[in-house]
Amino acid sequence: MSMMDGGMMVSIFRITGQHAAYLVQQLNDFASGRRQEMMMNSIAGSLTPPEMKAVALYLSASP
């Protein structure tokens, strides 16, 4: 959990260290609208498949 401005509590999920294939699938789900979250839908929707793979590989290698 983290506190944002205004005192609102939000959940922040740790995505680093996840398997790259899982992260690519989640990015695809956000891009297609199968998963709904306004900012992630926009970001994932702007990525090409090679960019999604690069992001996933970077995040999966991060501690």
Segment 5-63, tens digit of pLDDT: 555 655 667 889 999 999 999 999 999 999 999 999 999 999 999 999 999 999 999 98
Q: Which of 12, 8, 23 is nearest to 53 (CA)?
A: 23
User: What's the angle, vertex CA 42, arms to CA 39 and CA 45, rounded to 5?
Assistant: 140
| Alpha carbon distance 2, 4 (integer Å) | 7
Model pTM score: 0.77
Supply the Cα-derived Rg of the chain in whole angstroms: 13
| Domain 15-61 homologous superfamily, CATH | Cytochrome c-like domain (1.10.760.10)
User: Residue 19's closest CA among 60, 55, 50, 62?
Assistant: 60
